Structure 1
Amino acid sequence: MPKPIILAVDDDTSVLEAVVQDLRRHYGQQYRILRAASGKAALDTAEQLKERGEQVALFLSDQRMPGMTGVELLENVIPLYPDAKRALLTAYADTEAAIRAINSAKIHYYLNKPWDPPEEKLYPVLDDLLEAWQQGYKPAFEGLRVIGTRWSPQDHATRDFLGRNHVQYQWLNLEQHPEAAKLLEEHKLDAKNLPVVCFGNGDVLVQPSQLELAQKIGLRTQAEQQFYDLVVIGAGPAGLAAGVYGASEGLRTLIVEPEAPGGQAGSSSRIENYLGFPQGLSGEELAKRATLQANRLGAEFLTQRATCVRSENNYHIITMADGNEVSCHVCLVATGVSYCKLAVPGADRFTGAGVYYGASMSEAISCANEEVYIVGGANSAGQSAMHFSNYAASVRMLVRGGGLEKSMSKYLIDQIASRPNITVETQTEIVGFDGDGHLECITVKTPKGEEKRSTSSVFIFIGAAPKTDWLPSTVLTDARGFILAGPDLPSDLRAKLKIDRDPFLLESSVPGIFVAGDVRHGSVKRCASAVGEGSIAVQFVHQYLANLSR
C-alpha cells in the first residue's frame, strides 16, 4: 500500500532541498516526501494526488512565495484534504501574520526559519502533528475481500479457513454492504454464486475449495521431498510440538494439516492455565508461535488431508487427498478430535447457517447485540462463552448435567460467574432447531418442560470424536476409535507381529506408527499434556530409528 505523503513547498530551491533532506532522514520510512517550488505547483500536485486516491498527511509550506502565499495555499488545500495537517514556515518578521493565520486559515502550527538543529526545533513539532493525524487515519483496505452472506455454510467455511490461517481479510456481507454488489458487478459475477474471494491484485475465486484457497494465499500444497524421517499428521498442539522437537533434533520433518495449525485448541479464545503465560494466551497465538518455531527449526508444513497410510518393508507411505504420496521412516498420528454432532432434528440442516461446531471465531462479530447459545460444559465451552460475551448481548450456556464443576476448570467457572451477561442453565438441552433458510429458533428441554426460544446462533461443544477413520484396520483402536498405544495394546501383540521388542510407550500396533495427543486412547484432554506427548514421542522415534539401523 502507498505510503502517506508529506508535501514540502518553498520557492527557494536551496531551502527546499534542506527541508526535504531533513524530512527524509526522519520520516522517510513511514512517509513519501514530495516537493513543490511554488504554491501553484503544490496545489496542482495536491489535486493530482487526490484524483489518484493517495493520502497527504502534512503540508509544510513557506509563507513568502510569489503568486500564492503559504497561507493561501494552505487554505486552498483544505477542501482537498481536510484532515491533513498544515504547517507554515515563516521568517521571524512574519510571526504575527502566522499567528493570525492559525485562526483564519486553520493552520495547525508555524515554524520559524532556520530551525537548526531539527532534532530540537523541527521533529518534535512534526512528530506531534503526524501522530495526531495517524490517530484519525483509516487507510483504504487493499487486501483480500470475501463477498458472501452470513447464513451460507460455504461462506462460513471460507472465512473460518482464512481466519485460522492468520490471513487478514475484509468480509462484505452482500445484504449489508453496497460495496459487495459493486465488486460483483465490476467482475461480472452472479450474486447466486457466493462466496467470492477478491484479491488485491484483481484476481477472483468463485466458491473456492479449501485447496484452491490454500494455493492462492501461499500455503504449501505439494511436499518438497518424497521421503522424510518423520511425517506428523495433524498440527494441533501435539503435532506442532512433535514438529518442533523432530526438526530441532535433525529429523527431516513434514507436518501435514488440512485446515490450519492449532487444531481444536487453536480456536480457544483464552487459555489461562498454560505454563509460563501468567496472563494467559489465545489458542491462535499459541499455534502461531509454535508454527513459526517449527518453521524456523526446519520443519515443513503441508496443507493437505491424509486419506490413508500403508506400510511396506519398514517404510510408511501416506496418500494425500490430491493423490500424491510421501513416504517416511516414522508416521506420527496427532489428528486430535472433533466435536460430536448433535443428534437433534434440524441440526444438520442448519450447520454453518446458525449451528456451529466449535468456537467459530469468525462469527463472533456477527453476533453483536444478539443472544447466543453455547451447548456444553467443558473448558472449550467456557472459553467460548467468555469470548462471545464480549460481543453478544447475552450468552446462555446449556449444560445437560447438574453443574460445571465436574468438567470445567475452576478459574473458568469463576470468570463465567463474574460475567453478568452469561447465564448457565443446568439439566437443559436442545431438542429441536427450526428456521427459514437459517436458524431462527430452538426447542429447549428444561426441568420444567419444553419451550421455544428465538436465536440465530448456537455453538456446540459436546463430546470428542477421534479423527481415525482414514487409518487401516491394522492400527488398533478402542470401541470409540481412539488409537491404542504402548501398554494399552494387547499383551500378545509382540508374538503376533513376530517382533523382538515390546511397542514403545506411544507406538501403535503397527511398528513405526506413533500417536500423540487427544486422539490417543486414555489421553488427558488438555493442551499442555498434548504438547508433552508430542515432545516425548520424538524420543521414542529416535529409539525406533536406532533399532532399524541395527
Structure 2
Amino acid sequence: MSEPATSPAAAVRPAILTVDDDPSVSRAVARDLRRRYGERYRVVRAESGPVALEALRDLALRGHPVAVLLADHRMPGMSGIEFLEQAMDLHPAARRVLLTAYADTSAAIDAINVVDLDHYLLKPWDPPEEKLYPVLDALLEAWRRDRRASERGRPEVKVVGDRWSPDFFTLRDFLARNQVPYRSLPSDAAEAGLLLAATGAEGLALPVVVLPDGGWLERPTEAQLAAAVGLHTAADADFYDLVVVGGGPAGLGAAVYGASEGLRTVLVERSATGGQAGQSSRIENYLGFPDGISGAQLTDRARRQVDRFGVEVLTACDAVALETDGPARTVVLSDGSRVSGHAVLLATGVSYRTLDVPGVEALTGAGVYYGSALTEAAGCEGVDVHVVGGANSAGQAAVFLAGRARSVTILVRGAGLEATMSAYLIDQIAALPNVTVRAGTQVVEVRGENRLQRLVLDTPRGREEVASDRLFVFIGAAPRTDWLEGTAVRDEYGYVVAGPDLMRGGDPPPGWDLQRDPYHLEASVPGVFVAGDVRSGSVKRVASAVGEGAMAVTLVHRYLEQTWNSGDLPRR
C-alpha cells in the first residue's frame, strides 16, 4: 500500500520514503518519522519495492525532492538493496538507509559498496530518540547542505520547445546527462507562454532556454548552453601532465588514476561524461556489482571521484586536431582553443551507427533515438516501442523500457539473439510478457507527420507496416577518429592502432623516432596513448575500458620518466 504521491504540501515539503513488506513495521516506521519530521517533511509509506518505485517516479516527474529513503532488507520479490539501487536513478541525491536484522549486517556492509549506502539501522530501533532520530538528523542536515550548495551553484534552468522537436530533445538530453537541474516546458503549455512573455523572449525561434537570472538563449548550441549553465568549457592552465580526450569509462578511469598519482590532469569531453556506458539503463555483468548498476549510477560515482582528486573537466569541447611540438602534445578544439600537455590519452570511445533508411533523419529526436535515451523514458508510458539491434545494449534498453511501455518489440536482422546477446539478458527478456522478439526483420522506412508514427519492416513474410511511438536504435558503433587523420595510425575501420600492433616486420611505424618500440597502449605518436573502445582490437566492455585507462596511466608515468631522464622534458 502506498500513500498518494500528491498533496498540497508536497510542493514545499521534501519527502522521506519508507518501504517495508510487514504492515505493522511499515506503520511503526512511518509513525516515528511523522512524530519528529512530519511538519517539515512529507512521509511516504509503501509495502513493496515496486510500489515504492512507482511513488518515486511520480515524485520525480512532478519535480518533488526526496531527502531520505529507508528500505527493509528482507522483502520478497525485491530486496531493500535492489530497491535502493533502482531508486538511485530516480533520486540520486537522496540519502539511503537499510533496515536490517542483526543476522543481516554483513549484507548491509556489502550494500555500502553496491548502493553507496549512507547508513544501516538494526531492527528494532527503539527508542527512536536514541537509535533512529540522531542518524536521520545527520543525514537530513547533510542532504539540506548539499541541496543548498547545488542550488547556489547551478539553479534550475527552463527549456521551452516543441514536444517533438529534435533540437528540444537534444538540449534536454545534454542537460540531463550533465546533471544540470532543469524543467522541460512544451511550447503549447500555458506556463511556457507566460514564462516567455515575462522574460521578453516571445517570438524567438524555439527551443528557448530561460536562465535562472531571467536571461535567455535562442536555439543555443551545446557549447553555448554549457557555458551559460556554469559547466567548465575552457582550460585553466596552459600546460598539463596528462590530457585525456573522452569522458567514457576509459577516460574517467585514466583521469582518476592520473590525478590520484600526482599528475596534473585535464579531461576534455565533447558532450557529457559517461559515454555510451553512461546511457546504459543497466549493466549487469560489471565486477563488484552483483545486482547490476545503471550507467547513470556508474558515471555519477566516477564524476565524484574525478572531482575529489581535482581533475579539471572541460565539457562541450570537441577535439578537431592533434599536434606535436617537440615534447608537447596539443589537442586543438573546435573553437580554436588549444590544450597542451606532456602526454595525451585518446579515450573517445565510439558513436552509435545511424540507421540509413528513408525518413530517419527528419524524425531523429522526434520519436527515433540512438542509445537508451533515458530522458525519453517517461514519455514511453503506455505506448508501443521498438528496439533495433541484438547486442547487450539493445537488450538492456528493452528490459528497462518494458517497465513503462505497453509493448516492446525487438527487431533483429539475424536468426535470433543467442549469437549476439548475453544469456542473462535473453532470460530476462523471455520472462517479460510485454516484450516480443522478431527475428529476420529490418526497418526499411520510418514514417510520421512531425513525429514517428509508423515503421515499414522487411520480414520473412514480406513488407509490413506497423504502428510505433518510439524507435530506439542499437546497430553497432563506429569510432569518431577522423580528426586524427595524418597524425595517428588507424586501422581500416578507423580504430587507433597501438603497441605491438604498430610493428611491421619488427620495425616501428613511419615517423617513430625513438630507440624503443611503442609501449603496449601507445599510438604511433610517442607520448600519445589510447584506451577503451576506440583502440583497434579492444574488448568492448566497460570493465576492460576502465582497466585500460588505469594501465595507460602507468605507461604515461614510464614515458615521462624515460623522457625526463633523456633530458627532453624539464622537471617541474
Same fold (TM over 0.5): yes
Cα deviation code 1:364-401 (max 9, x no counterpart) = 11121110111101111111111111221111110101
| Residue 406 (structure 2) aligns with | 393
Q: CA RMSD in A?
A: 2.4
Cα deviation code 1:443-477 (max 9, x no counterpart) = 00110000111223111111111010111313011
Equivalent residue runs for 1:139-150 within 5 Å: 143-150=156-163
Equivalent residue runs for 1:197-212 within 5 Å: 197-212=209-224
Q: Judging changes above 3 Å, is the alpha-carbon distance between structure 1 residues 495 and 363 closer, same or farther for their aligned structure 2 residues?
A: closer
Q: Select the structure of larger CA radius of gyration.
A: 1
Structure 1 unaligned spans of 5+:
5-25, 32-118, 128-140
Q: Secondary structure at the match of 1:504?
A: coil
Q: How many residue pairs were aligned? A: 424
Of residues 414, 429, 433 in structure 1, which corresponds to 2:442? 429
Structure 2 unaligned spans of 5+:
1-10, 15-35, 42-128, 138-150, 566-572
Write the distance in 2 (CA, Å) between the matches of 1:495 and 1:360: 42
Equivalent residue runs for 1:68-467 within 5 Å: 143-175=156-188, 177-190=189-202, 193-303=205-315, 304-467=317-480
The answer as to 2:538 corresponding to 1:523 is yes
Q: CA shift at 1:168, angstroms?
A: 2.4
Write the distance in 1 (CA, Å) between the matches of 2:192 and 2:402: 29
Q: Secondary structure at the match of 1:225?
A: coil
Q: CA shift at 1:178, angstroms?
A: 2.2
Matched to 1:531, the amino acid is V
| Residue 481 (structure 1) aligns with | 494
Write the distance in 2 (CA, Å) between the matches of 1:340 and 1:147: 29
Write the distance in 2 (CA, Å) between the matches of 1:503 and 1:369: 55
Judge conservation of contact 1:494–1:501 (CA < 8 Å) in 2: no
Q: Judging changes above 3 Å, is the alpha-carbon distance between structure 1 residues 3 and 409 closer, same or farther for their aligned structure 2 residues?
A: closer
Write the distance in 1 (CA, Å) between the matches of 2:520 and 2:268: 23
Q: CA shift at 1:196, angstroms?
A: 1.7
The answer as to 2:549 corresponding to 1:534 is yes
Write the distance in 2 (CA, Å) between the matches of 1:279 and 1:341: 32
Q: Judging changes above 3 Å, is the alpha-carbon distance between structure 1 residues 29 and 532 closer, same or farther for their aligned structure 2 residues?
A: farther
Matched to 1:362, the amino acid is T
Judge conservation of contact 1:257–1:302 (CA < 8 Å) in 2: yes
Q: CA shift at 1:2, angstroms?
A: 8.3
Q: Judging changes above 3 Å, is the alpha-carbon distance between structure 1 residues 495 and 453 closer, same or farther for their aligned structure 2 residues?
A: closer
The answer as to 2:560 corresponding to 1:545 is yes
| Residue 512 (structure 2) aligns with | 497
Q: Judging changes above 3 Å, is the alpha-carbon distance between structure 1 residues 191 and 365 closer, same or farther for their aligned structure 2 residues?
A: farther
Judge conservation of contact 2:185–2:192 (CA < 8 Å) in 1: yes
Q: CA shift at 1:3, angstroms?
A: 8.1
Write the distance in 1 (CA, Å) between the matches of 2:378 and 2:204: 24
Judge conservation of contact 2:174–2:271 (CA < 8 Å) in 1: yes
Matched to 1:201, the amino acid is D
Q: Judging changes above 3 Å, is the alpha-carbon distance between structure 1 residues 387 and 27 closer, same or farther for their aligned structure 2 residues?
A: closer
Q: Judging changes above 3 Å, is the alpha-carbon distance between structure 1 residues 409 and 187 closer, same or farther for their aligned structure 2 residues?
A: same
Matched to 2:538, the amino acid is S
Judge conservation of contact 2:509–2:524 (CA < 8 Å) in 1: no
Judge conservation of contact 1:148–1:155 (CA < 8 Å) in 2: yes
Cα deviation code 1:115-172 (max 9, x no counterpart) = xxxx89xx9xxx9xxxxxxxxxxxxx98322211221111010000011011222211
Q: Secondary structure at the match of 1:348?
A: helix
Judge conservation of contact 1:468–1:482 (CA < 8 Å) in 2: yes
Matched to 1:528, the amino acid is A
Q: Judging changes above 3 Å, is the alpha-carbon distance between structure 1 residues 215 and 390 closer, same or farther for their aligned structure 2 residues?
A: same
Q: CA shift at 1:239, angstroms?
A: 0.2
Q: CA shift at 1:545, angstroms?
A: 0.7
Q: Secondary structure at the match of 1:328?
A: strand
Matched to 1:533, the amino acid is E
Q: CA shift at 1:30, angstroms?
A: 5.7
| Residue 82 (structure 2) aligns with | none
Cα deviation code 1:168-202 (max 9, x no counterpart) = 22211223x32122222222333661112223332
Q: Which contiguous aligned blocks of 4+ residues in structure 1 show a shift greater than 3 angstroms?
A: 1-4, 26-31
Judge conservation of contact 1:233–1:255 (CA < 8 Å) in 2: yes
Q: Secondary structure at the match of 1:545?
A: helix
Matched to 1:277, the amino acid is F
Judge conservation of contact 1:396–1:425 (CA < 8 Å) in 2: yes
Write the distance in 2 (CA, Å) between the matches of 1:182 and 1:414: 50
Matched to 2:473, the amino acid is I
Q: Judging changes above 3 Å, is the alpha-carbon distance between structure 1 residues 29 and 167 closer, same or farther for their aligned structure 2 residues?
A: farther
Write the distance in 1 (CA, Å) between the matches of 2:13 and 2:410: 47
